[in-house]
Every structure is written in C-alpha cells, then in structure tokens.
Amino acid sequence: MQLLIFSILLPFLTAALIPLIRRRIGNFNIGWLVLFIPVLLFGFFASQIPMVSSRETLLSSIEWIPSLGINFTAYLDGLSLIMALLITGVGSLVVLYSIYYLSPTDSFPHFYAYLLLFMGAMLGVVLSDNLMVLYVFWELTSMSSFLLIAFWYHRKNSRYGAQKSLLITVFGGFAMFAGFLMLYAMTGTLSIQETAAVMGQLTEHALFYPAMFLILLGAFTKSAQFPFHIWLPDAMEAPTPVSAYLHSATMVKAGMYLVARFTPIFGGTSAWFWTITIVGLITLFWGAFCAIRQTDLKALLAYSTISQLGLIMSLLGMGSAALRYGNTEAGALYGLAIFAALFHLVNHSTFKGALFMVVGIIDHQVGTRDIRRLGGLMALLPVTFTFAVIGSFSMAGLPLLNGFLSKEMFFTASLNAASMPGLFSTSWGWLIPVIAWLASVLTFIYAMIIVFRTFLGNRDSKAVEKRPVEPPIGMLISPAILSILIVGLFFAPNLLGDHLLKPALEQLLPGISGASPDSIYAWHGVNTELLMTIGIVLIGSVLFITFDRWKGIFKIQPAGWTFNALYNYALASSENAASFVTRSYMTGRLHQYFFYILLFFIVSTGGTLLLSDALSISFVQDAPVSIYELMLVLVMIITAISILFTRSRLSAILMNGVLGYSISIFFVLFRAPDLALTQLVIETVTTALFLLCFNYLPEWKREPLPKRKKARNAVLAIAGGLVITLTGLSVNSADLFETISSYFQNSYELAGGQNIVNSILGDFRALDTMLEGLVLFIAGIGVYTLIRLKLKKEAGTDGD
C-alpha cells in the first residue's frame, strides 16, 4: 500500500510548495492551508486503528538502492501507529494554535515549511523499517528542529539553543549510524524486522554490545537523557508552538521509540536492562530536582519534560527484562512496565502539550513567563487556569486524570523490579521504588508551583506589561481538546489500551502472555501504590508550603559545576584550538600552502610505500620505449626545468602549455584519441585563461629567496616527484588484484554505451558525477545570487 509512503512524503511536498502558494494568496495566513495536511494524515492513520487492533501490520516498499539493500520501506504496527497519531494529532493542534500565537511580523511561510519538514521527518523515523532510511530521517529531525528552534534568529539565545541541540543530537546520530552499520555487519540485512528475527543467535558476536551502546547513545541524546539533557532547556527559546510539538510530543519521543523498537533485538540482556533503567531513573530524579528551582515557566516545563522522559525510559528498561524470562509469571510482571511506558508516553503528550500551550497563552497575554512577576491570574484567565489545573494535576499523578493511571503503573513496575530476584540485586533493589517516589514528590511540588504561584495569590499589576485577558477562542481550542483527552483517558482508558497499547506491546514482547492488564482501572484497593500516592500528596504539600525555607539547598551546587558549564568550556576550547590551528597554517602565503600539501603527501604516501613493503619495481612485462617517447620525455623535462628559471610570465605560461600539449601527444601514441582531444581542448582553454588573468596582475617582481629556502624547496620538489614516480612504478609492477578494465570493456552490454569513458562517467560512477554536477550547480546559484544582490544594491544607491 503506497499510501503509507505517500503519507511520509506529503509534508515534504507541501513544504516545497509553500513559497509558490504564498505568492498567490498574498497576506492570507497560510497556516489555515497547512492545517489541512496534519488533519488529513491523522484521519488516514486513525483509519488504520481497526487493522492494528486486529493484530495486522502494513508494509509498503519502494526500491531505492537495491544493490546496497537500501529500500524505502515503511512498516506500520501498533508502536508506529501510536507515534504517527501523536505526530499528526498533536501536529494539527499545534498548527491551529500557532495561527493565533504567531505575530504578523513573523515569517509564516518559513515557520510552516520548517514545521512540515519536521513532521515528515518524524513520520519517516517511526515508519521506516530500513536502518539507513531511518537514519536519514533521524538526522532530518535534527536539522528541521534546528531551524525551528532558531526561528527567531535575531535572538542570541535562540541561535545558541539551536546550535546546542544540533551539536548534541547530531553527535548521537553519528554514534547511532555506526551502530546500524555494525548491525548490518552482523546480520547482513538493513531491515529492522529481519534483524529482530535473527539477532537472538548473535548475542555472542563481538559487535553486539558496541552496536547496542552506540544505538543507545543516539536514543539518549535525542530524548534528553542525563547527561545529554542540557540541550532541551535552551531549546525553549523556540516559539511556544514549537516547544509544545517538538519537546513534549514528538522529537524527544524519538529516542523512546528507538529504544522500544530495538527492545526485541537487544532486550533480555543485562547490559540493555541496566543501562536504560539506571539512566532513566537518574534523569527522572535530576530533571524533577532542577525543575523546582526554575523561575521561568518554560524552563520549568523543560526540566519537567526531562524528568518525565526519564520515567518513560526507566519503564522501557525495566520492561525489557520480560524477554529474558519469556512466557513466565516473571516475564509477564516485567512486561507490565513496557505497557506502562507506552501508556505514559501518550499521557505525557496530552498533559505536557496542554501545559506548554497554557504557558504560551500567559506569555502572549501577560507579556512575561517569570513566576516571580506572576500571580492572581485565575480571575483574569479562568479558562486558561482550568487547563493549567488539568494539565498540572495530571502531571502530578492525581486521581480523575490520565496521569494518575500511568503513574500507578510506574509504581507497580518499580516495586516489581525491586522485589523479583534476577537482574536486580535484592540488597539494593529497594532504591528503585524509593527514587521513583522521591521524584514523584518533586513532580508534585513543581506541578503545584505552576498552578498556585501563577494563578493564585495576589497580583502585582506593576510587575506585568499589560492587563491580562483571555486569548481569542481559536487559541483555546487546542489546549481544550488536550484537556478533554486528559480527563477522557482516565474514564475510558481501555479504548486506548485495547486498540493501540496492547497490539504495540505484543509486537515488542512477542510470545509473552499476561504482559498487559486485562483492563485498566483506577481503583485497586488499598495497596502500596495507593499509599505511595497519598504520601506524595501529603509530603509534597508540606514541602510546597515551606518551599521558601528549604530552597537554599539549590545553592549547594557551585555555579560553575554544571554540565552546561562543561559544555560551554568544551565548545570554547574547541573553537580556540581550531582558531589556533587555522591561524598557524592559514598564513596567506601560497608557497607555504604548497609546502604543507607536498610534505603531507610525501610523508603519508612515501611512508606507506616503505612501511607496508609496497615498493616493488619490475620492468619485465613493460613494452619497449620508442625513440619518439624518449624525445617527448626529454622535451617535457627541459620545459619543466626552464619554467623554474624564466623571468617572464608569458614564457612561463607558454612553457606550461607545452607540457600539457606534450601529454596529449602521449595519449595519441598510446592510442587514446578521445583523451588526447579532451586534453587539447582543456589545455587550450586554460592557457587562454592564464594569459587573460595574468594580463591584469601587477608587474612581477621576483623576490630573492635565501639559499636555505631554495634548498628546502628543491628537496621537497624532488622528493614529491620521486614519490609519485615510485608509486606509479610500484602500481605498474605489482599484480596484487585482478584488473577491472575487463569489466568496463563490456560497457555496451552493461550500460548501452559504446564509449567506455563516457559510460564510466555517466553510468558506472553516475552518483559521483551527479554530485560533481550538483556542486557546480550550487556554486552557480551562489554566483548568480551575489550578482543579483550587487545589482540591487547598485540600483538602490543610484536611486538615492
């Protein structure tokens, strides 16, 4: 079904058409037209729910580079459908919200083009079955998110945040790419489904664990896991719709998706279990701890997002143990953690998306996000206050909201991991539910800060720029829909569980029955999980009320002892080192550049010849040298030496032309008339261009060189020529490999070309030729643009 692939490409096609559409619609907000795309895609994916709920999958494939096993293959199952619905559903709400949020001075075409690029890239990530195609879309998410974060590029912080997110996520992407190549080396396939089918036989392979950790590195950087979490708070400089979309519902969930998708491949091993669980728990606690001390609402939500992502990651880690125990009671109990992870992944997108939109409304209507300047907004923004309460209380895990259900499952999973023997030592397994509980207490506190510090209390009218009023109704629709979902999923969670969560879980934990609950319900009686929740509310309330008395603990950590400071130091050090190295060799003196190039060539190539015993010279199979060839070589030697001593530019250019024409004569003697003709044409054109350029240069004044430099240059030149000669003779003498010329001789049968050289350029190495043409095309566009800008500037100057 090619509609699956078309659904990935549709946002890209629309983004490409936006500039053309914008010219025709004038000042009309193009967001209304863009809104149609995610709504249409959401309808398409929603129509696939019955198929997925019946445990069927959808596969669509188009050949791309079949010789390398790279095909554009899209695969739709329960997990990818959950992500696709989040990408398109939240994407629709974000586009609608942005129509009212953005200022008329903002560039709508750029914003929506970037947003569609990101949407298409995310769909490509979650639907791709081919590792190489997945990697391409993975990096496209980093590129498009860079453009979105830096949308307000006139702000220094926006540029800084975009750069940081790009550097960290692309670094992880490169690591993930290396892991993918290792997987291919192990399995011989690039298909994720085929890899999962054979990977169980390769756990002892030498590349198994390196591939695992490299892929996890990519997932951790994208999902802002500790210590790579530092990019997410700075990315909040993006417009609020971007934060609501990228940093709550989609981009940061890409790492979660990757871990879940590769659980059938690596799950069941201790390294996978320990690494993901421990990193997730650390991220959960540290994100919540940092969120409490923030004074900016978006920064608070950023760290709360980090914490919630750590919660989901730890659940995925704990649940992976189910694959070790298989279809047993222990396997089923561990498997509940992955069900909870999928459930909370959806819940987090709803309440965090709503909260980001609430903060955007506050910033838009009040003019500040500083908690210290806010307060008493409930009477002025009652509708917004309602959404804030729903979202915050759901994030805190309070009853009657969907966050309560998945939080209780999280407690159950942590208690299971602590009580069951095996992967966790019973001597300190109790730390898992303790960390989970402490982080939940902190979560409760920052949720209360959002509600009570922002909307309740006394309002200082002098602290804000304008009197707040409710935003237009269109700006309230998106958070209203998300709030309805937050409440609706609490009262009807099994609609989601039966039709999406359970099919996804069965794909991740094949053959394990009982890994998902028969039904999701809120009341389980008075149990440990309920007591933990009651403790959270009681202790969290006391700590919130007494916050001013104990907030001094945040000052214990020195200001310079942070991962942000380490990142800034590393970035500044690398820039200084690069600047130092560049200044050391970029001197502006051409002869020094030739010196570096020749010296590197002599050392690398000559050293390789000597150290690898590749130097081998034999004249046994060589054809006899004719008198004409000797005469031609003698002419070239005399001409080359004469260039060194001539004092006339014209003479040097003409003698350089003699060398080029002599080479063309060699081609004639060696029966290569097409090469001879090409050489003649190129030599004629370059000689004419040399003469034209030198005509405009100032008078040539030969600078006297010290004898020491002359000797150095002579030695370098002779050594370079000697290395080239020895390399050519060694290649001609050694017969290590079968010649490939016989393959290209069949160019007519293989490529339909009678000219071998043209066939090599146009068919056999077509990709290289295409890229060379692309470089020339880009350079031509650059030159054309510069000329146009110069002409416009001159026209403007004349007009003045």
d(CA 487, CA 493): 10
Task: Please report the pLDDT score of residue 425 as a whole number.
Answer: 52
Q: What is the mean pLDDT of residues 723-739?
A: 80
Task: Please report the pLDDT score of residue 523 as a whole number.
Answer: 86
d(CA 223, CA 4): 26
d(CA 708, CA 547): 76
d(CA 489, CA 504): 18
Q: In this predicted model, which residue has the larger pLDDT, 697 or 427?
A: 697
Task: Please report the pLDDT score of residue 27 as a whole number.
Answer: 66
Structure tokens at 430: 């109790």
Q: What is the mean pLDDT of residues 275-280?
A: 94
Phi/psi zone of residue 246: left (φ > 0), alpha (ψ -120 to 50 degrees), beta?
alpha
CB 659 within 8 A of CB 633: no
Task: Please report the pLDDT score of residue 249 as a whole number.
Answer: 77
Q: In this predicted model, which residue has the larger pLDDT, 628 or 139?
A: 139
Cα dihedral 532, 534, 540, 542 sign: negative
Confidence of residue 798 (pLDDT cuts 50, 70, 90): very low
Q: In this predicted model, which residue has the larger pLDDT, 343 or 772?
A: 343
Phi, psi of 472 (to 5 degrees): -55, 155
Sequence-ordered alpha helix ranges (H) in 586-613: 590-601, 607-611
Q: In this predicted model, which residue has the larger pLDDT, 623 or 73?
A: 73
Phi, psi of 798 (to 5 degrees): -65, -40
Go through the chain and tell me how many residues it has: 800
Checking if the pLDDT of 463 tops 70, the result is no
Specify the range with the lowest mean pLDDT, choosing from 166-180, 441-455, 578-592: 578-592
Best CA proximity match to 318, nearest among 286, 297, 341, 295: 341
Specify the range with the lowest mean pLDDT, choosing from 211-220, 639-648, 700-709, 725-734: 700-709
Q: Is residue 444 packed enough to be buried (19+ CB in 10 Å), middle (13-18) or exposed (0-12)? A: buried
d(CA 784, CA 792): 12
Pairing of strands 70-76, 58-65: antiparallel
Write the CB contacts of 322 (distance below 8 Å, at least 6 apart in sequence): 267, 268, 330, 331, 332, 334, 335, 337, 338, 509, 512, 515
Model pTM above 0.85: no
Q: SS3 string of 635-674?
A: HHHHHHHHHHHCCCHHHHHHHHHHHHHHHHHHHHHCCCHH
* Percent of residues, the chain, with pLDDT higher than 70: 96
Confidence of residue 743 (pLDDT cuts 50, 70, 90): confident
* Percent of residues, the chain, with pLDDT higher than 90: 55
Task: Please report the pLDDT score of residue 228 as a whole number.
Answer: 93
d(CA 301, CA 560): 23
Task: Please report the pLDDT score of residue 672 as a whole number.
Answer: 82
Q: What is the mean pLDDT of residues 230-257?
A: 90
d(CA 214, CA 224): 15
Checking if the pLDDT of 792 tops 80, the result is no
Average pLDDT, the chain: 89
pLDDT tens digits, 22-72? 878 776 788 899 999 999 999 999 999 999 999 999 999 888 888 778 889
Phi, psi of 277 (to 5 degrees): -65, -45
pLDDT tens digits, 606-632? 888 888 877 878 777 777 888 888 888
Q: Is residue 387 packed enough to be buried (19+ CB in 10 Å), middle (13-18) or exposed (0-12)? A: buried
Cα angle vertex 758, ends 756, 763, to 5°? Answer: 95
Best CA proximity match to 99, nearest among 387, 383, 473, 474: 474
Write the CB contacts of 248 (distance below 8 Å, at least 6 apart in sequence): 90, 301, 305, 348, 349, 352, 353, 355, 356
pLDDT tens digits, 550-591? 888 877 777 778 888 899 999 999 999 999 988 888 888 888
Q: What is the mean pLDDT of residues 367-386?
A: 90
Confidence of residue 381 (pLDDT cuts 50, 70, 90): very high
Confidence of residue 796 (pLDDT cuts 50, 70, 90): low
Structure tokens at 397: 């895990």
Task: Please report the pLDDT score of residue 800 as a whole number.
Answer: 39
Question: Concatenated DSSP letters for 724-753?
Answer: HHHHHHHHHH---S--SHHHHTTHHHHHS-
Confidence of residue 799 (pLDDT cuts 50, 70, 90): very low
Confidence of residue 427 (pLDDT cuts 50, 70, 90): low
d(CA 640, CA 790): 42
Q: In this predicted model, which residue has the larger pLDDT, 494 or 424?
A: 494
d(CA 323, CA 325): 6
Distances (CA, A) of 789 to 795, 799, 800: 10, 15, 17
Phi, psi of 501 (to 5 degrees): -70, -45
Checking if the pLDDT of 343 tops 50, the result is yes
Q: SS3 string of 5-38?
A: HHHHHHHHHHHHHHHHHHHHHCCCCCHHHHCHHH
Q: What is the mean pLDDT of residues 118-136?
A: 95
Checking if the pLDDT of 312 tops 70, the result is yes
d(CA 67, CA 151): 40
Task: Please report the pLDDT score of residue 433 as a whole number.
Answer: 92
Distances (CA, A) of 385 to 304, 305, 355, 378, 483: 19, 20, 10, 6, 12
Distances (CA, A) of 60 to 23, 81, 153, 550, 623: 36, 14, 39, 57, 58
Write the CB contacts of 587 (distance below 8 Å, at least 6 apart in sequence): none
d(CA 794, CA 76): 56
Best CA proximity match to 82, nearest among 350, 479, 401: 350
